[in-house]
Copies of this chain bind each other. A is one copy, B any other.
Amino acid sequence: MVQSFLQNFVHYFALRGFLLILLGALLISKPAGGQQPALNLMPRPSSVQAGTGSLRLDSSFSVALTGYSEPRLERGVERFLERLARQTAISLNSKVAKSGQATLLIRTDHASKEIQEVGEDESYSLEVTPAGAKLAAPTPLGTLHGLQTFVQLVDVSSDSLAAPAVTIQDRPRFPWRGLMIDSARHFTPLDVIRRNLDGMEALKLDVFHWHLSDNQGFRVESKSFPKLQELGSAGLYYTQVEIRDVIAYARDRGIRVVPEFDMPGHSTSWFVGYPELASAPGPYEIERRWGVFDAAMDPTKESTYKFLDRFIEEMAKLFPDQFFHVGGDEVNGKQWDANKEIQEFMRAHGIQNNQALQAYFNKRLQPIVEKHGKSMIGWDEILDPTLPKDITVQSWRGQASLAAAAKQGYRGILSNGYYLDLGWPASRHYAVDPISGDAANLSPEEQKRILGGESCIWAEYVDAQNIDSRIWPRNASIAERLWSPADVRDPASMYARLDFVATRLEWLGLTHKTSYWQMLHRIAGAATPDEFAALHTLTDQLEPVKDYTREQTAPAEPTSLTPMNRVVDAVPLESAAGRRFGELVDKFIAVSCLDTDAGARLRRQFTAWRDNDGRLEPLAKRSFLVREVAERSRDLSALGTIGLAALDAIAKRQPAPGSWKTRQLATIEQLKKQKAQLLLLPAPAVQKLVEAAAAGGPCMAAK
């Protein structure tokens, strides 16, 4: 049997690359320096050396700041102690020590820049022994990162709450590690912004890119042009005081705030108050629908640049960061085409097409941005060889444009592959590397121009209640990609740590798990515990449709006023339960379907699914929000029945008949289609099982 088992295993290897992953995991988990301890650190540090024993946490724990200090560091330590107290329930009230007697001795060498810059030293080293811990960093940025690492180390052990002895040397791979939040399509309340900055700090992200204007809303108070927010926001905007608070909050966490004002397109909300900026007369209303619209600034009028000069002057003072994001994406050019004066201007200036007209706009815009002390950044549409090399390109359409920009001497950051709203699994984001594809062939000098990357959450289907579950925990995988060495890329290890981090992020105040649960309760109304459990069993196996299919599959045209209270709005974009089910099937098949424990668990799961629809039925009658997923419930039960049949066939160790297989696969093909904008996650895994049951392969050969 051993030989046949191995043969099957090798067979399987050829088939599915499973061993390759396993091998990769083994190699990564054993670095040159010694045995890698099984620590739940995320992002994984550059270098980790396990020590012996652990540092026990008790109420005598104290921290001392030595070397350079500043109020930000003191606040950072207070926050650290508060968080540590919360996660241990050990009283650590005012335990900032001045002397060298502290349990955790921090040494910071010197200040970082008053206004945080790209590429500052963020490194730190952390040594934990049973007797105490030392954190050293050249700048406060490194110190703040090191405190986060320490917090992650502390966990319950067999005899205490403790941090394992360890020596860590750590520094980021990329200097620009960002998260973009779209506060224009749906407004993001300030407490949501703050808790997401907390999450960013925990994952060592250092850029909050704030998308502050779009067709659907202008979200910043302008004193120079008050009609921007007064008429362009439906009252949902940030005052300048609030903006300054957010910037200070972010700076305290080592995070830069880069504002984006999207122009010349994506700008309907500007035109409600200032129609003279547009390329068609108006009047304009705040856009409520989603998509790419015609409205665009008129790049041919001098008044446009006068307006932007005054506007950018004001915003450049409000936002201290060196970078100023001008958007620049998705101008469809229709208003330009239809405007005779613009067409005349283009002819007169030899501007051949709309792309060239936008380049003209950017060439006028860039000096304004520069005049107010900022460096211009925009989406990849702004890339044009006639622009000065100071601009930075944020690549959303593909990695090729990033490489092209770097080759031409421009700096760039990657967002293609990091769009959180597309609903990809974390592993898929995790596999995207800024230095890959065309970029892998760049010279080292060119590669240096790739500053890093940014995940983006576009807010068509994101509001204050579900935003956390659209960002987290998947965003942690991108944070690790941007911080950790390039060879840290085992998805199994990533997922194990992601699960851990996901729980801890909730301790910080993020609500990605609890909001799902609360939204399900709304959907269920006054359900019995049994009915609620049945709903939960179903929704745990559902994911929203992926990529850009949300609008085309919607039951009615969605707008910014559409209530987001349906199951598709509540369920996480990646289901952990669904992923684990897939892993269980893989595990079962990988060992020739001989893993009796996995087999028994599959059987329990399939039985529960088969019976689940009956449990849910009364609730589906009472709640229209549950009724919307009634068909998916029947589908899950059908999948359970198929799974049980496949297990029965496998148990007999005789390949199931081809006709049976054909029938099951046809059914599964139907089940794979979206309904109520929801995908039935386990369908592909059950398909694998059906195929295994019908094949003459591993699951049948071993006796």
Say yes or no for A564: interface residue by CB 8 A criterion: yes
User: CA of A91 to CA of B564 in the docked complex: distance in angstroms?
Assistant: 9
Which residue of chain B lies nearest to A59 when distances are taken between CB atoms in the complex? B561
What are the residues of chain B within 8 A of A87 when measuring CB–CB? 522
Whether B89 lies near A522 (C-beta < 8 A) is yes
Say yes or no for A109: interface residue by CB 8 A criterion: no
Interface stretch, picked from A21-29, A154-162, A295-303, A671-679, is A154-162
Shortest Cβ gap from A172 to chain B (Å):
25
Q: Mark A219-253, 1 if CB is under 8 A from B, else 0.
A: 00000000000000011100000000000000000
User: CA of A229 to CA of B511 in the docked complex: distance in angstroms?
Assistant: 36
Interface stretch, picked from A270-278, A351-359, A499-507, is A499-507
What are the residues of chain B within 8 A of A235 when measuring CB–CB? 93-94
Within the complex, which residue of B88, B94, B155, B626 is in contact with A563, where a contact is CB–CB below 8 Å? B88
Within the complex, which residue of B88, B506, B524, B564 is in contact with A89, where a contact is CB–CB below 8 Å? B564
Say yes or no for A514: interface residue by CB 8 A criterion: yes
User: CA of A59 to CA of B88 in the docked complex: distance in angstroms?
Assistant: 44
Q: Mark A477-508, 1 if CB is under 8 A from B, else 0.
A: 00000000000000000000001100100110
Whether A523 lies near B93 (C-beta < 8 A) is no
Which residue of chain B lies nearest to A58 when distances are taken between CB atoms in the complex? B563
Given A514-B514, A518-B506, A525 and B156 contact (CB-CB distance below 8 Å): yes
Say yes or no for A346: interface residue by CB 8 A criterion: no
User: CA of A694 to CA of B351 in the docked complex: distance in angstroms?
Assistant: 97
Whether B500 lies near A526 (C-beta < 8 A) is yes
11 residue pairs of the A-B complex, CB under 8 angstroms, read A40-B526, A88-B563, A89-B563, A89-B565, A91-B563, A157-B623, A158-B622, A158-B627, A503-B521, A507-B518, A529-B576
User: CA of A161 to CA of B624 in the docked complex: distance in angstroms?
Assistant: 9
Extra pairs beyond A503-B518, A529-B580 (13, CB < 8 Å): A86-B465, A88-B563, A89-B465, A89-B564, A91-B563, A156-B522, A156-B524, A156-B525, A156-B624, A156-B625, A158-B624, A159-B624, A506-B518
What are the residues of chain B within 8 A of A522 when measuring CB–CB? 87-89, 156
What are the residues of chain B within 8 A of A569 when measuring CB–CB? 89
Say yes or no for A287: interface residue by CB 8 A criterion: no
Within the complex, which residue of B158, B507, B514, B624 is in contact with A160, where a contact is CB–CB below 8 Å? B624
Which residue of chain B lies nearest to A500 when distances are taken between CB atoms in the complex? B526
User: CA of A45 to CA of B91 in the docked complex: distance in angstroms?
Assistant: 44
Which residue of chain B lies nearest to A519 when distances are taken between CB atoms in the complex? B89
Shortest Cβ gap from A289 to chain B (Å):
15
Q: Which A88-110 residues have a C-beta within 8 angstroms of B? A: 88-91, 93-94
Whether A623 lies near B90 (C-beta < 8 A) is no
User: CA of A625 to CA of B372 in the docked complex: distance in angstroms?
Assistant: 58
What are the residues of chain B within 8 A of A565 when measuring CB–CB? 88-90, 161
Which one of A89, A160, A463 has the highest number of Cβ atoms from chain B below 10 Å of its Cβ?
A89
Whether A158 lies near B623 (C-beta < 8 A) is yes
Say yes or no for A364: interface residue by CB 8 A criterion: no
- In the complex, the 7 A-B pairs of residues with the closest C-beta atoms, listed nearest first: A89-B565, A156-B525, A89-B563, A156-B623, A90-B563, A155-B525, A503-B521
Say yes or no for A621: interface residue by CB 8 A criterion: yes
User: CA of A693 to CA of B655 in the docked complex: distance in angstroms?
Assistant: 47
Whether B622 lies near A157 (C-beta < 8 A) is yes
Shortest Cβ gap from A571 to chain B (Å):
14
Which one of A86, A500, A526 has the highest number of Cβ atoms from chain B below 10 Å of its Cβ?
A526
Shortest Cβ gap from A89 to chain B (Å):
4
User: CA of A661 to CA of B161 in the docked complex: distance in angstroms?
Assistant: 44
What are the residues of chain B within 8 A of A160 when measuring CB–CB? 624
Given A87-B522, A89-B565, A623-B156, A529 and B161 contact (CB-CB distance below 8 Å): no
Which residue of chain B lies nearest to A561 when distances are taken between CB atoms in the complex? B91
User: CA of A136 to CA of B522 in the docked complex: distance in angstroms?
Assistant: 28
User: CA of A519 to CA of B88 in the docked complex: distance in angstroms?
Assistant: 9
User: CA of A525 to CA of B565 in the docked complex: distance in angstroms?
Assistant: 33
What are the residues of chain B within 8 A of A627 when measuring CB–CB? 158
Q: Mark A426-458, 1 if CB is under 8 A from B, else 0.
A: 000000000000000000000000000000000
Whether B624 lies near A157 (C-beta < 8 A) is yes
User: CA of A86 to CA of B499 in the docked complex: distance in angstroms?
Assistant: 28
Given A500-B526, A565-B88, A234 and B158 contact (CB-CB distance below 8 Å): no
User: CA of A518 to CA of B506 in the docked complex: distance in angstroms?
Assistant: 8
User: CA of A89 to CA of B186 in the docked complex: distance in angstroms?
Assistant: 12
Given A88-B565, A503-B521, A507-B518, A621 and B526 contact (CB-CB distance below 8 Å): no
Within the complex, which residue of B59, B159, B236 is in contact with A93, where a contact is CB–CB below 8 Å? B236
What are the residues of chain B within 8 A of A521 when measuring CB–CB? 503, 507
Within the complex, which residue of B156, B158, B236, B563 is in contact with A523, where a contact is CB–CB below 8 Å? B156
Q: Mark A563-576, 1 if CB is under 8 A from B, else 0.
A: 11100010000001
User: CA of A507 to CA of B507 in the docked complex: distance in angstroms?
Assistant: 17
What are the residues of chain B within 8 A of A463 when measuring CB–CB? 89
User: CA of A155 to CA of B627 in the docked complex: distance in angstroms?
Assistant: 15
User: CA of A564 to CA of B89 in the docked complex: distance in angstroms?
Assistant: 6
Which residue of chain B lies nearest to A569 when distances are taken between CB atoms in the complex? B89
What are the residues of chain B within 8 A of A89 when measuring CB–CB? 463, 465, 519, 522, 563-565, 569
User: CA of A563 to CA of B522 in the docked complex: distance in angstroms?
Assistant: 35
What are the residues of chain B within 8 A of A88 when measuring CB–CB? 522, 563, 565
User: CA of A91 to CA of B87 in the docked complex: distance in angstroms?
Assistant: 36
Q: Mark A152-170, 1 if CB is under 8 A from B, else 0.
A: 0001111111000000000
What are the residues of chain B within 8 A of A524 when measuring CB–CB? 156
Shortest Cβ gap from A343 to chain B (Å):
40
User: CA of A529 to CA of B576 in the docked complex: distance in angstroms?
Assistant: 10
Q: Mark A536-576, 1 if CB is under 8 A from B, else 0.
A: 00000000000000000000000001011100010000001
User: CA of A369 to CA of B165 in the docked complex: distance in angstroms?
Assistant: 59
User: CA of A330 to CA of B59 in the docked complex: distance in angstroms?
Assistant: 31
What are the residues of chain B within 8 A of A157 when measuring CB–CB? 525, 622-624
What are the residues of chain B within 8 A of A506 when measuring CB–CB? 514, 518
